[in-house]
Structure formats: structure tokens, C-alpha cells
């Protein structure tokens, strides 16, 4: 499919989605709000920064605790302006396109994936640039590029998240980071849309001290559900956007040895 | 009569010895050099060598990748890191040196020196017996930052402009922001790697600590 055909295909998919029977299209399974939390331990070993992170998310009806993950790996600073990272993640409760199923005739629902364990490989490369010509001089522009392979379903995806961070300094030390970025999630071997998720992302990081940081985040997340296997079998095609506001809280422990 | 003459002669000799000692006390010796170290002694500029005497009014300069250790006979030693310029303003019982650029380690024997001070363009660090480090930092405001770290003893830091003072205790350091604002003394992780040794016989003398570590690297702040 060439680039020019993409908008036409997208319009056709949306058109098809509108025409499809309503009960066959994935529905939002909860409220507009989601809450997530994470706790990270980061070691500063010079150029190498190992990381262990626990993450959980409350979503769906009654804000169930559904998604949870453990990530371990390390960042390495290749150049002054370039960091790379490699991580292993084990997760439960993730939702994919094919989790929209028809367990019995004309009954459609999301798979309860809370007990389904998935393993992922994550590779990250993020260039960063100090914008010292900006007012206050403490601005950094970064682009987080993250490749993700999910061994459970063989999906490859790419996150591209350009962002701008302002550092409020006191006595030459950061006190507060304010970041605004936009995450673009690109499916590499699945889905029918160019993006399967996108979100403006706002983050506030308060440096309580050198070893404890508190984080508050907000993301207006749009997930675009593409046709599941069961829907294909049923003769349906769709690309349905689902929007939610994800509020996150994090406690980070960077340690210097 | 003979006793009186003898006493007078002895007193005269004592005075001569003391005066000579004080005269000698106005000098120091270069005890270790590495790389190119220059001594500016108006109107001459000479290359420093081990054993070379230095005195009041001399200005010592280390070029890139060079360093020098100078023993001041009154019980103080100083070690200049690379790219440093330091003026020996006074070398009597009260020793006063002036850091023009770069960074300097000082070790002071409290029993032999009345007073010892390191001056920068905006502040003065005074001690009676201690080991401390003074370095110019980044120039973010009108004047450069000045870092002061104390290894042993304590240092009184005074601002020349406002006359504000504070004591920095052993193991702690301060950053004089823009050379004019005293911060609270605290333990800075980067100072743990400073090499305080000034005796080549005891091991490595050069200090290769990257002073840029004193500042937060905004490009290294990655928390997700």
C-alpha cells in the first residue's frame, strides 16, 4: 500500500466501522479515567544506569487493578547526547486487538487477561539536546524511540515520543521537571492503522532529595482498536478509537554508588 | 660584665637567627610538578622545577594536564590542579594566596601557621588547621561559582562584598553561587573522588576529578 492510499484506507475502515453492527465493535469497558502508578529503582554507575520498575494500572469498570508489569534492564550513555537502553518486561493484564472475542453466538466481550503472562523485549534509544538558548536556559528536547517485541503474540511496535522538559533549578540543583511530550505508537506488524495509540503526555517530577523523586503524570490516551481475529471471522472490519485520561503517580529512587 | 656581654651577644644571635628564619619563611619550595608549570616573577616567566624556591609575589600557573605541589615552610602545602593560576600574596606567619582561576587543594598545619587564607574574586576562605579544596565553577551569573570542600578540620568562608560568613565542617562543601551567595554546607557525592594526596611517595598526586560533576547534567536525567 503506498502512502497516498493510507488516508483512503483509513476512511474506508472508519466507514466500515460505522456500518458494522454496534455490538461487534469493541466498546470501552470502563470509565474515562484510568490511574497508574510506578515505582522505580535506578542505579547510577557512571555511563551505565540499571533500572528495575514495577508498574500497575487501575482501569475499566470500577477501576479494577488489571495491568501490572515488572521491567528490568539498563540504560547506557553512548554519547553525551545519546542514551540507549535494553529491558526485559513481564506483564499481565495487557489488552490487544485480538482480545475482543465472541465467546458464544452474538456475545462480544474483552478477554480477561489479568492472569495471562506476557514477556517483552524493549530496546530504547533517546537523543537529547540542551536548548540553552531558550529562556531560563534549562530546557532539554528529547525524542524517546522505543522498539518493543511481545513474545506472547509476536507483535512488534515502535514508540516515538518527542518531548520538551523544563528544569527548575535551585542552587544549581533540579527541583522540578516539567515535561510535555507526544507519544506516537506505531504497529509494525499488526493492526490496520498507522498508529494504534497516541497521547499528549504531561509530567511533573519533584526532586524531594537526591534519592527520592515524586512524579505526577497525565496523558489523554487514544487507543485505536483494529479488527480482531473473531471479528474478521465474523466478516467485520473496524478501527475504533477509545479515549481515556490516564493519571499517574510515581515514586523513583535514583541511587548513586 | 662578661656575663652581660655574653647575654647581649646571645640575644643578638637569637635575633639574627629568628630574623633569618622569618626571611626564609617568606619562601616555599616546589616539591612536585607534572606537565608545564610556569612561575611568573616580574618581569620573568620561568618553568617550575622540583626544588625551585618560590616566594611572595610569584604567580604560579599550571597549563592543561599539569599540576604542581608547593610546600610553604611555615607548615602549609598547596596543590594546584590543571589550568590554574594562583598568586602567592603573603608567605609569612600569615599565609595568603589568591586563586585567579582553576582549583587548589590546601593542607595547613595549625601549629605552624598563624592564619591561612585562600582568596577568590568574591570570597575568602580562612583556616587555622585543615585540608580543603577551592575551585572556580561555571560562570552562570555575573561572577563564577566557587566550590569549597573540606576534608579535615573546618573552614570559615567569608564574602568580600557582604561580609557574610559561615563555617564549613569536615566532609562537607558549599557552592558560592555566582561567588556571592553562600549555600548550606552539605555532603556532595562528587567530592568523594578528590585526590587529597600531596606526597608523591605516598602514591598518585594528580587529581583527575571532573569538576563538571558538581553540576547536574540535564542530559543525564532519564527516569522512564
- Residue A130: its chain B contacts at CB < 8 A? 218-219
Backbone angles phi, psi at A211, to 5 degrees: -110, 0
pLDDT band per the 50, 70, 90 thresholds, residue B6: low
Is residue A58 within 8 angstroms of chain B, CB to CB? no
Measured between alpha carbons, how far is B34 from A238 in angstroms, rounded to an integer? Answer: 74
B140 neighbourhood in chain A, CB within 8 Å: 172
The whole-angstrom separation of Cα B18 and Cα B1 is 26
Share of chain B above pLDDT 90, in %: 56
Chain A nearest-CA distance from B216, in A, is: 6
- Band of pLDDT at residue B21, cut at 50, 70 and 90: very low
Report pLDDT for A4.
55
The whole-angstrom separation of Cα A142 and Cα A207 is 20
Banded pLDDT at A70 (limits 50, 70, 90): very high
Q: Is the peptide bond before B43 cis (omega within 30 degrees of 0)?
A: yes
E-assigned strands of A93-234?
A: 100-104, 107-110, 117-130, 139-150, 155-170, 173-187, 197-209, 212-226
Overall average pLDDT of the B30-52 stretch: 93
Residue A77, C-beta contacts closer than 8 angstroms, at least 6 positions apart: A47, A48, A49, A83, B220
Would you call B189 an interface residue with chain A, using a CB distance cutoff of 8 Å?
A: yes
Which residues in chain A have Cβ-Cβ distances shorter than 8 Å to B218? 130, 138, 140, 167, 174
Q: Are strands A64-79 and A48-59 parallel, antiparallel or unpaired?
A: antiparallel
Binary contact (B222, A75; C-beta < 8 A): yes
The yes-or-no verdict on residue B184 having pLDDT over 80 is yes
Q: CA separation (Å) from A85 to A183, B67, B104?
A: 18, 38, 39
**In chain A, positions 33-52, which contact chain B (CB-CB < 8 Å)?**
40, 42, 49
Name the H helices within chain B: 2-24
Q: Is A140 exposed, middle or buried (0-12, 13-18, 19+ CB in 10 A)?
A: buried
Contact B223 A77 (CB under 8 A): no
- Optimal mutation site among A131, A171, A202, A204, interface B, most CBs of chain B within 10 A: A171
CB under 8 Å to A11, separation ≥6 — which residues?
none
Q: Which residue has the higher pLDDT, B96 or B113?
A: B96
B177 interaction partners in chain A (CB closer than 8 Å): 171-172
By C-alpha distance, the chain A residue nearest B214 is A172
Please tell me the distance from the alpha carbon of residue A160 to that of residue B77, in angstroms, as a whole number.
Answer: 56
Q: What is residue A30's predicted lDDT score, i.e. its pLDDT?
A: 66
Neighbours of A222 (CB within 10 A): 16
Average pLDDT (A44-49) is 89
Exposure string (b/e) for B3-25, b if CB count within 10 Å is 16 or more? Answer: eeeeeeeeeeeeeeeeeeeeeeb
B/e letters for B78-88, b = 16+ CB within 10 Å, e = fewer, are bbbbbbbbbbb
Q: Does residue A219 contact residue A202 with C-beta atoms inside 8 Å?
A: yes
Which residues are within 8 A (CB) of B16 and not within 5 positions of it... i.e. 6 or more apart?
none
Mean pLDDT of chain A: 89
Sign of CA dihedral B92, B94, B99, B104: positive
CB spacing of A40 vs B221 below 8 angstroms: no
3-class state of residue A69 by DSSP: strand
Which H or E run contains A232? helix A229-233
B1 touches chain A (CB under 8 A): no
**So what's the ipTM on this one?**
0.76
SS3 content of chain B, % helix, strand, coil (to 5): 15, 45, 40
pLDDT at A18 over 60: no
Number of helices (H) and strands (E) in chain A: give both, helices first. 2, 13
Q: Which residues of B201-222 are buried (b: 16+ CB within 10 A; e: fewer)?
A: eeeebbbebebeebbbebbebb
Q: Which residues contact A123 (CB under 8 A, 6 or more apart)?
A: A84, A85, A86, A87, A146, A147, A148
Q: Tens of pLDDT along A228-251?
A: 999 999 888 999 999 999 999 999
Share of chain A above pLDDT 90, in %: 72
Helix (H, G, I), strand (E, B) or coil at A121: strand
Residue B145 has pLDDT above 80, yes or no: yes
Does the structure show a pLDDT above 80 at A20? no
Chain A residues within an 8 Å CB radius of B183: 171
More confident site: A14 or B62 = B62
Domains of chain A: 5-256 (2.40.160)
Q: Which of B189, B215, B222 is opposite residue A126, by nearest beta carbon?
A: B222
Cα-trace Rg, chain A: 20
For A115-148, the pLDDT digits (tens) are 999 999 999 999 999 998 888 779 999 999 999 9
C-alpha cell, B61: 600557573
Walk me through the domains of chain B, giving residue ranges and CATH numbers. 23-209 (2.60.120.1440)
Please tell me the predicted confidence (pLDDT) of residue B139: 87
A47 Cα to chain B: minimum distance (Å): 9
Amino acid at each position: 500500500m503506498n502512502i497516498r492510499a493510507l488516508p483512503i484506507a483509513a476512511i474506508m475502515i472508519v466507514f466500515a466501522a460505522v456500518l458494522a453492527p454496534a455490538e461487534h465493535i469493541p466498546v470501552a469497558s470502563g470509565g474515562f479515567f484510568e490511574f497508574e502508578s510506578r515505582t522505580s529503582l535506578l542505579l547510577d554507575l557512571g555511563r551505565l544506569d540499571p533500572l528495575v520498575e514495577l508498574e500497575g494500572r487501575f482501569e475499566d469498570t470500577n477501576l479494577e487493578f488489571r495491568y501490572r508489569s515488572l521491567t528490568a534492564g539498563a540504560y547506557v550513555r553512548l554519547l553525551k547526547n545519546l542514551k540507549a537502553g535494553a529491558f526485559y518486561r513481564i506483564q499481565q493484564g495487557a489488552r490487544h486487538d485480538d482480545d475482543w472475542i465472541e465467546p458464544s453466538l452474538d456475545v462480544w466481550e474483552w478477554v480477561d487477561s489479568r492472569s495471562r503472562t506476557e514477556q517483552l523485549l524493549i530496546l530504547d534509544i533517546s537523543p537529547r539536546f540542551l536548548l540553552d538558548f531558550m529562556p531560563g536556559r534549562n530546557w532539554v528536547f528529547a525524542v524517546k524511540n522505543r522498539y518493543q517485541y511481545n513474545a506472547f503474540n509476536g507483535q512488534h511496535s515502535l514508540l516515538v515520543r518527542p518531548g520538551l522538559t523544563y528544569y527548575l533549578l535551585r542552587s544549581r540543583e533540579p527541583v522540578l521537571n516539567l515535561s510535555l511530550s507526544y507519544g506516537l505508537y506505531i504497529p509494525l506488524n499488526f493492526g490496520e492503522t498507522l498508529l494504534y495509540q497516541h497521547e499528549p503526555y504531561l509530567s511533573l517530577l519533584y526532586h524531594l532529595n537526591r534519592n527520592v523523586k515524586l512524579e505526577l503524570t497525565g496523558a489523554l490516551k487514544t487507543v485505536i482498536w483494529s479488527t480482531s481475529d473473531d471479528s474478521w471471522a465474523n466478516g467485520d472490519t473496524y478501527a475504533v478509537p477509545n479515549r481515556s485520561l490516564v493519571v499517574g503517580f510515581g515514586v523513583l529512587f535514583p541511587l548513586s554508588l | 660584665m662578661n656575663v652581660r656581654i655574653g647575654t647581649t651577644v646571645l640575644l643578638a644571635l637569637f635575633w639574627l637567627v629568628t630574623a633569618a628564619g622569618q626571611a626564609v619563611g617568606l619562601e616555599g619550595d616546589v616539591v612536585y610538578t607534572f606537565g608545564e608549570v610556569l612561575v611568573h616573577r616580574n618581569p620573568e616567566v620561568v618553568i617550575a622545577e622540583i626544588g625551585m624556591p618560590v616566594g611572595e609575589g610569584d604567580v604560579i600557573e599550571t597549563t592543561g594536564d599539569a599540576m604542581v605541589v608547593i610546600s610553604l615552610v611555615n607548615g602549609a602545602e598547596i596543590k594546584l590542579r590543571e589550568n590554574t593560576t594562583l598568586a602567592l600574596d603573603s608567605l609569612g606567619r600569615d599565609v595568603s594566596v589568591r586563586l585567579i582561576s582553576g582549583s587548589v587543594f590546601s593542607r595547613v598545619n595549625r601549629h605552624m601557621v598563624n592564619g591561612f587564607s585562600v582568596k577568590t574574586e568574591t570570597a575568602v576562605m580562612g583556616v587555622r588547621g585543615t585540608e580543603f579544596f577551592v575551585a572556580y565553577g561555571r560562570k552562570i551569573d555575573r561572577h563564577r561559582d566557587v566550590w569549597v570542600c573540606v576534608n579535615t578540620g573546618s573552614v570559615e568562608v567569608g564574602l568580600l562584598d557582604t561580609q557574610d560568613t559561615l563555617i564549613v565542617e569536615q566532609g562537607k562543601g558549599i557552592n558560592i553561587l555566582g561567588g556571592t551567595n553562600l549555600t548550606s554546607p552539605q555532603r556532595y557525592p562528587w567530592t568523594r573522588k578528590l585526590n587529597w594526596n600531596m606526597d608523591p611517595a605516598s602514591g598518585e598526586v594528580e587529581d583527575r576529578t571532573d569538576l563538571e560533576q558538581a553540576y547536574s547534567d540535564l542530559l543525564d536525567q532519564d527516569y522512564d
